[in-house]
Amino acid sequence: MAEARRALVAGERESPRQKRFSIELAGVAFERKRYPEAAAWLQRALKLDPTDDYANNFAGLFTI
């Protein structure tokens, strides 16, 4: 999983305006139970595209 994270971070650095990297990084952080990190990546993705259904639904896991 660490290798996948490194690849996604590299992709995000090269293409910071593509939300897919932030969403995938949120998923990796979530799987590792790093919830604040996952939420931060989702916030980044939603700044790029506030209408993304998947990211909004995923972000819903962090609200009560």
pLDDT of residue 64: 54
> How far, in Å, CA of 11 to CA of 24, rounded?
11
Number of domains in the chain: 1
Q: The domain containing residue 39 runs over which residues?
A: 2-62
Q: What is the pLDDT of residue 40?
A: 96
- Which CATH number belongs to the domain containing residue 50 in this structure? 1.25.40.10
The Cα–Cα gap between 29 and 42 comes to 10
Q: What is the pLDDT of residues 3-53, one digit of tens each?
A: 989 999 999 999 999 999 999 999 999 999 999 999 999 999 999 999 999
